[in-house]
Amino acid sequence: MAKTKTVFVCQNCAYKSPKWIGKCPSCNSWNSFVEELETQEKASLKKTAKISPGSIKKLENISQKQNGRLTAPFSELNRVLGGGIVQGSLVLLGGEPGIGKSTLVLQTALKLTNTTVLYVSGEESPEQIKMRADRICKPESNIYILSEINIHKILDGICEAKPDLVIIDSIQTIFDEDLSSSPGTVSQVRACTQIFQEYAKKNQLSFLLIGHINKDGNIAGPMALEHIVDVVIQFEGDNNNYFRLLRAKKNRYGSTAEIGVFEMTNTGLNEIPDPGMLLLPDDITDMSGIAIAAMNEGARTLMLEIQALATTSVYSAPQRTATGFDIRRLHMLLAVVEKRLGIRLGQKDVFLNIAGGIKVNDTGVDLAVIAALLSSVFDKVIHRNTCLMGEVSLSGQIRPVPNIDQRLLEVKRMGFNKVFISKFQKTSIKNEKDFNILKIEKVNNLSPLLFD
C-alpha cells in the first residue's frame, strides 16, 4: 500500500514542517508539532462548488429528529450522561490507569440485555475479559469481543458484528497505518477518534471510547480529543479508596453538573445513590486542623473533610502543598489570612488535603479551608457538629454559594447542627431549636465563633 504523505503541523500557529521539531520557528512554542495527513489545500475564490438545493434551511423549519438514547443499566451513569448514551454519539471515558474504567464499561455491556455490544480491546486478551466478566456478573450472549488495534480492521469488525454500541478499550492503543507515528501519540489518537466520529455520525452507531489520562488530567495531550467527541466523562478517585466519582466534563446532550458515585468491590462496581456522608470517615475524632465543608455537585451535596497542617518551616522558602484542591486558590486564601487576620504564615509550611482523594471544583469550600487552617495554627478543635460553606473573596468577605437551600437541607439531614454561611446569603431555611445557622460577613468574624 502506498504511504500517504504526512506533515507536522504546529498546533499553535499552523506552521508546517516535513520533520518533527521541538520548537516552532514561527511562534516559538515548544512541543507543539503533531503529525497530520497532508491535504492539498488551494484556497481560491474563483473555484466554487454548487450545494444541493434546500441545503440552507430556516432554523424554525428544521424538524427536530430526536435521536434515541441507549439507557445504561447504571442510573449513576445515566445521570452523568444526561439520560443515557445518545444514538450516533461518541462518549469518551477518561481516568487514570487502574481506576476501574474497563470494569465500568464491561459491567455496563454485560447488563445491557437487549443491545448488541462489540467490545474492542487493545489491552486485554479475550480470555482475560472473559475471566473478569465471570467474576463480576453472569455473561450475556449478545456481547462480542474483538482483540484488535488496527482501526481499519476494527471498522471491518463493526460491519460484520452489526452492534448497537461499540466499546473501544482504549483509544490510545488503536492506530491508523496511514500515519507513521506510533499508537498513543496525539496524532494517532486524534486521527482514530476523528474516524470513529465520522463513522458514528454516518451510521448512527454509538461509541464508548476509553482514554487514559496523563498526570495533568488531560486525555492524550491538551484538548486533543475533547472537541472531537460529543461527551467527555471522567472517572476519579483514589486507588487506595473504594469509592469512585464519575463526572461529565463536556456534554452536548445534557448538563455537566451531575456526578455519579460508585464503590469498587471484589465483584465489580456498585452504585451509591445516597453518598452524602460517604467521604467522611466514620471515626472522626476531635483533632485540630480538620473542618467539614458541604460541597455541591449538580443535584448532590457531599460532605468533605478538609485537613490542614501549618508547621514551622525548616527551609528558607516554605512549602505549600495541596492535594485535591487548586494550589493557586490555596495561595490566595493564605494571602487573605495573612492580610485580613494578621496571622504570619510566611515562615510556615502549609499542607492541605481533601480526604478521600477527590478533586474539589466548588469555591464554596473556601471557608472550610480557612477554618481548617485556623484550627491548625491555633491548635484548637472544631467540634464535629460544625459545617461551613462560603466563598472567600480577596477582601476577606464571605460570599454566598449557589444552591444553599439544598445544601442546608442535606447538612441538617446528616445531623450537623452548627452551620456557617455568608451574611449575604438568601435562604428560606430558618434557624431551629437544634439547627443553628451562623451568618458571618468577614473572615475576621470566624474564629471567635468557631472554637466554642
What is the smallest separation between the CB atom of 89 and ligand TYD, expressed in angstroms?
Answer: 21
Cα 39–Cα 42–Cα 46 angle in degrees, nearest 5: 145
Measured from the CB atom, is 259 or 292 closer to ligand TYD? 259
Q: By CB under 6 A, what part of segment 251-270 binds ligand TYD? A: 264, 266-268
Distance between CA atoms of residues 378 and 394, nearest Å: 22
Q: What is the total count of residues that contact ligand TYD (CB under 6 A)?
A: 15
Residue 321 Cα distances to 6, 306, 313, 373, angstroms: 44, 13, 13, 13
Nearest position to ligand TYD, beta carbon = 102
Distance between CA atoms of residues 422 and 391, nearest Å: 8
Q: By CB under 6 A, what part of segment 100-139 binds ligand TYD? A: 100-103, 132, 135-136
Positions touching Mg ion (CB under 5 A) are: 102
Distance between CA atoms of residues 249 and 239, nearest Å: 21
Residue 103: which of Mg ion, ligand TYD, none does it interact with, CB under 5 to 8 A by kind?
ligand TYD
What is the smallest separation between the CB atom of 405 and Mg ion, expressed in angstroms?
Answer: 41
Query: Cβ-count burial of 258 within 10 angstroms (0-12 exposed, 13-18 middle, 19+ buried)?
Result: buried
Distance between CA atoms of residues 302 and 281, nearest Å: 13
What is the smallest separation between the CB atom of 223 and Mg ion, expressed in angstroms?
Answer: 23
Backbone angles phi, psi at 244, to 5 degrees: -135, 145
Which amino acid, 317? A
Measured from the CB atom, is 78 or 102 closer to ligand TYD? 102
Distance between CA atoms of residues 366 and 376, nearest Å: 16
* Spatial CB neighbours of 52, under 8 Å, sequence gap ≥ 6: none
Q: By CB under 6 A, what part of segment 268-287 binds ligand TYD? A: 268
Measured from the CB atom, is 239 or 431 closer to Mg ion? 239
What is the smallest separation between the CB atom of 169 and Mg ion, expressed in angstroms?
Answer: 6
- Give the three-class secondary structure for 298: coil
Measured from the CB atom, is 102 or 375 closer to Mg ion? 102
Here the cell at position 412 is: 441538617
Residue 97: which of Mg ion, ligand TYD, none does it interact with, CB under 5 to 8 A by kind?
ligand TYD
Q: Is 339 in the site for ligand TYD (CB under 6 A)?
A: no
Measured from the CB atom, is 78 or 102 closer to Mg ion? 102
Measured from the CB atom, is 124 or 178 closer to ligand TYD? 124
Residue of the chain from 99, 158, 179, 232 that contacts ligand TYD (CB under 6 A)? 99
In the block, cell 472544631 appears at 382
Judged by phi (left if over 0) then psi (alpha if -120 to 50, else beta), residue 100 lies in left
Measured from the CB atom, is 58 or 215 closer to ligand TYD? 215
* Spatial CB neighbours of 36, under 8 Å, sequence gap ≥ 6: 6, 7, 8, 9, 187, 191
What is the smallest separation between the CB atom of 426 and Mg ion, expressed in angstroms?
Answer: 47
* Spatial CB neighbours of 285, under 8 Å, sequence gap ≥ 6: none
Residue of the chain from 22, 25, 54, 98 that contacts ligand TYD (CB under 6 A)? 98
Here the cell at position 423 is: 451574611
Residue of the chain from 95, 122, 237, 289 that contacts ligand TYD (CB under 6 A)? 95
What is the smallest separation between the CB atom of 236 and ligand TYD, expressed in angstroms?
Answer: 11
Interface residue list for ligand TYD (CB under 6 A): 95, 97-103, 132, 135-136, 264, 266-268
